[in-house]
Chain A
Amino acid sequence: MLRRLVKDFQGDVLAIPGRLIALIFFLLLFLLPLITQEPYTLRILIFANIFVIFAVSWDFLSGYTGQVNFGHALFFGVAAYTAAMLNKYIGLQPWATIPIGAIVAVGAGVLMCLPALRLRGPYLSLVTLAFPLILLGVVKAFPDVTGGEHGITGLTRLSESRITDYYISAVVMTISVFIMWKLTDARSALVRTGIILHAIREDEIAARASGINTIRYKLLAFAVGGFFAGIAGGLFAHFMRIAGPSTLDLMLSFQAIIWTVFGGIVSIYGAVVGVYFLYPLMEFLRVIPELRILIFAAIVIVILLFMPEGIAVWIRDKIERACPRCKLSNVWWRRTCRACGASLY
């Protein structure tokens, strides 16, 4: 049994450089507080973790089903405001408000899905754009309940210390990313969602003709995407101790797209790489505040011009080579496939 596990580990993780890098990354993530406990660094990483959940949930919803969502901030904002109101007016603690907020975000996702099911392509994108902005108008029009421009302030802290905050965000991030990665894994024998979502993206009519209830799977995509974006929103509200209009902002929806596409769409890890590359970069650029957004945008443009599929996908294609016969990934220096021995050239 143990030997079997070790063997699986060798074959499925160590032999594939991309997964090896992911493993090292997550190990480093959990060991980091041993190296540095500086509050500012931890703060940046906590935000990065929260936005990883947000960006990956966008990738899950938009990349994998092809339903490009311009209003992903809706889920983030709905969950943040729900958590904030429950905490402020009823006095629930973060461990309760964040899941409830996420479930309300699922409700928002299903609501958003109703028109979305009838629409396709750019129509869908532009309609989803409307929802967070409609809600934003409502939030600003009723400042008594929602705090208007200033938002709901003075929420309970996520936990007592920064280190605990960090571990909470890291653990939640790892679990969420793992679940979404598993759900989208087209080769998984356990869950069929991955391959079905791929099928819907490639050709919805053909998928329906093969007996797949595409509506059910689109609903599922909206619900799962909404749930994890909601978790991110709740974490954000309790960590910042404020839920303001910025959580529904158009720019936040666009940020999710920027992070994900920069890293590589339809890949889950692309979103992780995108956030971990761009978010600290954005913080680092605070040393030159007036040129910050300009440099950020310029870097995004230049990198995408040369790696239009995203930086993570570009690197993966350099270090991994799929076997033409059995489709298994191999390290780039191998000349023959490690499983079937076919030539890789």
Chain B
Amino acid sequence: MLGKISPSGIKARWKDYLVLFSGMIITTAIFYMFEAISTNDQFTTNSPVGESAKFVFIFGSVLLAIITLVYVFYANNFLMSMRKHDYGLFMMLGAKSRVISRLIAMETVVIGLISTIIGLIVGVGFTKILSRFLASQIHMPLTHFSAFYMPAMWTTVIMFLVLFIIAGFLNARTFVKTSALRLLRSSQQSDWKQPKAVSLWVQAILGILLLAGGYYAMYDIKQLKLMAVAIGLVTIVLGTYFVFNSFFVMLLQVIQRSKMNTKGLNSFTLAQLKFRIRDYTKILSVVSLLFALALGAITVGTGFQNMVPKLAQGNGYYSVGITNPSSKMNALVDQIKDKSTITYQQKIDPQTKSVYYRIDQLQKQPIKYSEFVDKATLKAKISTAQVAQYRHNDSGAYQELWGLQAPDAKAFKIKVVSANSFNRITAKTNQLLMVRANNMDAATTTLTKITNLQAKQYGTKNNQLVGGSFATYQLLKGVFGSLEFMGIFLGIAFLAMLASCLMFKILSGAASDKIRFDMLNKIGTRRSVLKRSIWVQILGLFTLPGILGIIDVAFGLQMFSRSGLLIGGAYQTFAITTGGFLILYLIYFAVTVLIYSRIVVPKTKVEK
């Protein structure tokens, strides 16, 4: 009998379940996608880039598993808050607690199973899209890659089933231990306690000191080295917790003491927010920390991407070397803005295994070459070559010139001779055109066309063989591109789950707020005022961890930039990613406000 009643209860609240399901499905889908890519050998063993990507993806799926755990816990909490009253009623009507607990466990597992299955289907779709994108980033055809990958399916199913079985078991246990009356009245209980002033002060000061210490440690990474990371981790986690538990509460108390408190519903809104913050301390701390982690992953990923031109140009001064350029290539070179070019004559003599250049040309138009002065900060020095340098094949000038030659010439030694000697060598005279594009990002399309034509002329498909810093540029773009993509993806997955955790936590409290809003309506609060109060309360709960998270990243970036891992533009990327992040966060905020209002604001539309 109860088996029949139970689905009807779900049907009645399908909108709430829809929210629950959509969150679970996305979680499962993302988890599957990470598994499918990180464990799929087809994808990862075929290229060096895939190899490094694999590691990142495994790291990502471990982090995801941890967050999924937290997520399932909160989603489950929300589910139970919806069903508590029904279960209490069943028990009141005489259902044995053993039967109820079996029902609860079953319901949780069934919901888990359904969302996992749908999630897997969505996950296959996600994987298809992502793998295609990755393949284009690292220039590798994925002939044998299938988005449907059985081992990953199993991992996902087992992982989620175990989580849901644990959740179901925990739910059942909680209910057996709670009396029917308590379940029925669970929404009317309040555990509000006024915090003690002394403990607030101590925690607030401690929290801010800990945060400051953590930020300083990250700033001073040069001195503290790895210790900075260890100190930062401990102090920031603890500091965040204390700040939420006290500092923000005290801040609200100050506002409460001001005249603002007596305006409209402010007193209610502020008091609610104060209560909520203390009640939510743990989840808010976790949200702010993971917010920082996600934002940091994206910023650093994008930051690396932006370093690519610097890295490439530090490796070589000229972007491409073209042997005997065709008129088409010359026309393309003309299209590049902001460039410098040099042309040398060159003769290749297979007998002496040498490539000859004219000394007068090298003197008149000396080669420029670039060398890293400080690899950590990517500082490069540009120098002008002296003819004497070509005698040593390990000199910067020699390496620069050697790298720009055609593949068959690279096997030979470079020799610099007088114009007369050059003329006496019986071999075809080649033209070597060396082009430097000062802005490689802008010239990428043209340079790609040139290297493709050149590779064709060399009789190869691999345009990496063309040489020059543009080849390095392309290679690094591939590696960092997938890293960046991965960072963004992981970040978004984190954020989606975190924001839904927060959303579920807030929505779980809606039932008990219903009575309060009902009373406020009776004593004459306008609907718009009630809605504004909800808006402000939820905004507070969403923004506070967000702000703390952003501050965390701002200081965390110091660690990267001061230890030389990120150069220039990091804060610009940070601003852009934060912006993108906030948009996603805002969507979650809006959905929460909408659902919450629907639950708690009394309907004042009157049937006449």
The answer on A and B forming one complex is: no
Chain A residues in the interface with B (C-beta under 8 A):
none
